[in-house]
Structure 1
Amino acid sequence: MTTTVPATDRLLTVQDVADLTGQSVSTLNRARVYGTSNAPAYTKIGRSVRYRLSTVQAWIANQREYHHTTQQQAA
């Protein structure tokens, strides 16, 4: 019996997430290891780090949007 994973729960590699978010692999790795940056939640399967597509999409949707830099400085 084969189970099909919904497309939104597809597992992504760190490189996939970097490509999707525009963050570098090293930024994502640093955020995961040290908790130094706002980054999407991840899961580990064995020694592999994976991100659920649905989690990454929700993380992107929850990021604050700015129209100009003074809004960001005020936040």
Structure 2
Amino acid sequence: MVAITALKKDDVLYDVVSQKAGNTTLRHQAVYRVLVTEVAEDHSYVMARWNGNAERKYREGQVKKWRRTPPKKD
């Protein structure tokens, strides 16, 4: 979904992951907000905050899994 070259500072994206629901075999989707704080000039990485945590460096492999819009709720 998202390429580093298309990102700008202060873009808000969403990371959707599958998580276990407690001590069961059931799984559910968790949606986390990602705020881009910096984009490298050569577009090799972005600095972003994930779910309100401290910012860190993300490269193309992780960034391409993020989405521009959150998934629809069932």
TM over 0.5: no
- Higher strand fraction: Structure 1 or Structure 2? 2
TM-score after normalising by structure 2: 0.26
Greater RCO, 1 or 2 (C-alpha within 8 Å, sep 6+): 2
Larger Rg: 1
